[in-house]
């Protein structure tokens, strides 16, 4: 039965030919080549050969794709349609932050249903829970970034002597970054296929003759450069440069003279260096004179640089780019975790629709609240047996939309191979995620709002498959109650006719019990004070009990709560 459905869905998708119109292009009504309003993903499993289990000696290529799966790489630089509604646009923008967006965005925009790829990534994430490993890799990337910055800077330098010193420094940082990484990696007990493969490559490269030469010559040269010491006498409009001749440190003398007035509060007056990387023409001129004071050292430097003009290994460079996918995401969730919110690697399946999440939350909201030092309310859900659709009702501003977003985010993140918000989760790998969120009326839209909504929903119904996830948030709010009940019922029935997963936020109670596939969940309030929401979405309807004690409990000032709160 299930298999038949899936096959049917594939057929329907394959035959639909023209891609459905997105809701936003729907509004602007330009027609034509609109992109589907869904998370783009590789519906690739049928094209591909059964995956070869990677051999331990298979050459390492990428930390995002296991050996043998690299040809499945299908990245898009275009933001998935569901991003704005799910607030994933904010999340990913913050994840990427100051990193290079053109490199990182495609990683975060492209989901996969291939369990081998996703488990490869999940294993890498798991391995990165090791603080030592993570900080080792992070430092490596920071050094590589410095190498790139130095080389970029060197290109702009006019003065030869100065340019050589800068490139030389870049090479030394590079050598050090490889050596540090290799020696640190030797001590890690690695399990993930990704890191094991990477370590093999790293080890091979580090012990290559080419690299050894680069390192040893740099060491010799640096030793000679560090012997350079000079002094400058500044007086009037001139500066005289000569080798340093053991004059006494004057600042130490002055400090000593006044040390009896020292108190611990002002002892550590900070001395802020105003160092910039760039040099002005006087400094560059001085460096030239220093070159004249030490001519043998500087000609050896010139020769070294000429022989090593392309020194960066390509696989290392790729790793440096791709590992950012993991590091940036982990860095983003770290402060959220620190507030006691849990993340987990979800159990994933491209076929089993039963799923759940414990103590999960809206990632975008959590990041915001954590920044504002506010608490975050977690919610659970589970879909068992025949259950496919969660109908969320209850008072407004009670966290219903947040719950719906959370559901969508969980399923998208699972398709990236990422950890997801929650203590534990099992998630279905969706081919696409469709979202319909209430938007402000757009006056440039010629069609009525209701009609537009219907058109968009129709496109979704047409484009969705048994493998899709659909999020409906307060649909048909612009029409009469009778219409809403009628239309909503029709739409939900159409979705229920497929095997897709769905969350529907509505205030229409009767939608919550259409059939055995629907699950009713309710946003709850503090009974005593209906203006106050708990932001908990539960399977039971709220009861109307109101006691002063429940108020006190909410303010955490009951006898028991106070005893816990007040330190002795």
Minimal distance, residue 268 CB to other proteins, in Å = 9
Instruction: Please select the residue that binds other proteins; options are 280, 338, 444, 482, rule is CB under 8 A.
Output: 280
* Selected range binding other proteins among 47-55, 97-105, 137-145, 227-235, rule: CB under 8 A: 227-235
CA distance 488 to 157: 66
Minimal distance, residue 500 CB to other proteins, in Å = 43
Instruction: Please select the residue that binds other proteins; options are 138, 180, 445, 558, rule is CB under 8 A.
Output: 558
Question: What is the CA angle 17-18-24, rounded to 5?
Answer: 150
Nearer to other proteins, 170 or 202 (CB): 170
CA distance 420 to 409: 8
117 scored as a contact of other proteins (CB under 8 A): no
The site string for other proteins over 160-179 (x = CB under 8 A, - otherwise) reads: -xx--xx--x----------
149 scored as a contact of other proteins (CB under 8 A): no
CA distance 552 to 28: 52
3 scored as a contact of other proteins (CB under 8 A): no
CA distance 113 to 411: 11
Minimal distance, residue 252 CB to other proteins, in Å = 8
DSSP-derived 3-state class of residue 442:
coil
Using CB under 8 A as the binding rule, the residues of this chain from 68 to 97 that contact other proteins are: none
450 scored as a contact of other proteins (CB under 8 A): no
CA distance 74 to 111: 9
**How far, in Å, are 25, 177, 281, 379, 445 from residue 442 at the CA level?**
12, 53, 58, 33, 6
Instruction: Please select the residue that binds other proteins; options are 290, 378, 392, 425, rule is CB under 8 A.
Output: 290
CA distance 146 to 176: 12
373 scored as a contact of other proteins (CB under 8 A): no
Tokens of 260: 């009896």
Cβ contacts of residue 426 below 8 Å, gap of 6+? Answer: 346, 347, 348, 349, 352, 354, 355, 356, 357
565 scored as a contact of other proteins (CB under 8 A): yes
CA distance 36 to 285: 61
Nearer to other proteins, 33 or 251 (CB): 251
Nearer to other proteins, 254 or 481 (CB): 254
Residue bearing tokens 């500087």: 298
Instruction: Please select the residue that binds other proteins; options are 190, 293, 344, 350, rule is CB under 8 A.
Output: 293
102 scored as a contact of other proteins (CB under 8 A): no
The site string for other proteins over 236-275 (x = CB under 8 A, - otherwise) reads: xxxxxxxxxx-xxxxx-xxx-xx-xxxx-xxx-x-x---x
Count of residues that interact with other proteins, criterion CB under 8 A: 80
Nearer to other proteins, 18 or 565 (CB): 565
158 scored as a contact of other proteins (CB under 8 A): no
Minimal distance, residue 168 CB to other proteins, in Å = 9
Using CB under 8 A as the binding rule, the residues of this chain from 322 to 341 that contact other proteins are: none
Minimal distance, residue 507 CB to other proteins, in Å = 25
CA distance 448 to 435: 20
CA distance 22 to 30: 11
212 scored as a contact of other proteins (CB under 8 A): no
End-to-end CA distance of the chain: 64
310 scored as a contact of other proteins (CB under 8 A): no
Nearer to other proteins, 545 or 563 (CB): 563
Using CB under 8 A as the binding rule, the residues of this chain from 37 to 56 that contact other proteins are: none
User: Dihedral of the CA atoms 84, 86, 90, 96 (nearest 10)?
Assistant: -100
Nearer to other proteins, 292 or 447 (CB): 292
Residue 385, Cβ density class (10 Å: 0-12 exposed, 13-18 middle, ≥19 buried): exposed
Q: Does residue 369 contact residue 375 with C-beta atoms inside 8 Å?
A: yes
- Rounded to an integer, what is the distance from CA 182 to the centroid of its chain? 26
Minimal distance, residue 272 CB to other proteins, in Å = 9
């Amino acid at each position: 039965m299930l298999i038949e459905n899936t096959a049917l869905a594939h057929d329907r998708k394959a035959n639909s030919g023209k891609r459905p119109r997105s809701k936003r292009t729907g509004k602007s009504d330009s027609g034509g080549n609109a992109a589907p309003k869904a998370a783009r993903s590789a519906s690739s499993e049928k094209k591909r050969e059964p995956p070869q289990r990677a051999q331990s000696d298979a050459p390492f290529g990428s930390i995002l794709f296991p050996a043998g799966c690299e040809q499945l790489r299908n990245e898009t630089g275009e933001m998935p349609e569901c991003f704005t509604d799910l607030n994933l646009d904010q999340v990913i923008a913050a994840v990427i932050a100051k990193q290079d967006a053109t490199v990182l965005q495609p990683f975060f925009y492209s989901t996969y249903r291939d369990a081998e790829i996703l488990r490869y990534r999940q294993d890498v994430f798991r391995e990165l829970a090791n603080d030592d490993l993570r900080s080792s890799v992070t430092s490596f990337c920071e050094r590589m970034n410095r190498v790139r910055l130095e080389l970029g800077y060197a290109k702009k330098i006019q003065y030869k002597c100065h340019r050589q010193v800068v490139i030389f420094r870049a090479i030394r940082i590079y050598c050090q970054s490889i050596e540090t990484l290799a020696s640190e990696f030797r001590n890690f007990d690695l399990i993930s296929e990704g890191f094991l493969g990477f370590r093999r490559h790293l080890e091979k490269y580090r012990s290559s003759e080419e690299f050894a030469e680069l390192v040893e010559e740099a060491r010799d040269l640096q030793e000679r450069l560090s012997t350079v010491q000079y002094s400058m006498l500044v007086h009037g409009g001139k500066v005289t440069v000569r080798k340093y001749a053991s004059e006494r440190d004057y600042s130490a003398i002055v400090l000593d003279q006044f040390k009896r007035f020292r108190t611990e509060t002002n002892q550590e007056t900070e001395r802020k260096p105003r160092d910039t990387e760039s040099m002005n023409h006087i400094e560059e001129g001085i460096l030239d004179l220093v070159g004249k004071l030490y001519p043998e050292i500087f000609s050896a430097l010139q020769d070294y640089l000429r022989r090593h003009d392309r020194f960066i290994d390509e696989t290392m460079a790729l790793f440096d780019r791709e590992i950012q996918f993991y590091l940036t995401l982990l860095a983003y969730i770290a402060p959220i975790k620190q507030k006691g919110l849990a993340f987990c690697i979800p159990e994933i399946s491209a076929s089993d629709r039963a799923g759940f999440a414990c103590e999960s939350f809206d990632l975008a909201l959590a990041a915001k609240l954590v920044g504002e030092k506010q608490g975050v309310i977690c919610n659970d859900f589970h879909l068992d047996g025949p259950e496919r659709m969660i109908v969320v009702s209850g008072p407004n501003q009670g966290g219903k939309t947040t719950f719906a977003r959370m559901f969508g985010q969980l399923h998208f993140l699972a398709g990236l191979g990422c950890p997801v918000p929650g203590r534990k989760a099992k998630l279905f790998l969706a081919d696409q995620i469709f979202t319909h969120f209430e938007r402000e009326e757009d006056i440039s839209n010629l069609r009525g709002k209701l009609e537009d909504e219907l058109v968009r929903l129709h496109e979704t119904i047409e484009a969705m498959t048994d493998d899709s996830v659909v999020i409906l948030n307060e649909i048909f709010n612009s029409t009469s109650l009778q219409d809403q009940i009628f239309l909503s019922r029709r739409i939900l029935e159409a979705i229920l006719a497929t095997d897709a997963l769905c969350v529907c936020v509505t205030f229409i109670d009767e939608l919550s019990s259409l059939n055995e596939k629907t699950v009713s969940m309710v946003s709850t309030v503090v009974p005593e004070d209906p203006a106050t929401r708990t932001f908990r979405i539960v399977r039971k309807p709220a009861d109307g009990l109101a006691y002063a004690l429940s108020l006190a409990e909410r303010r955490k000032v009951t006898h028991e709560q106070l005893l816990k709160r007040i330190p002795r």
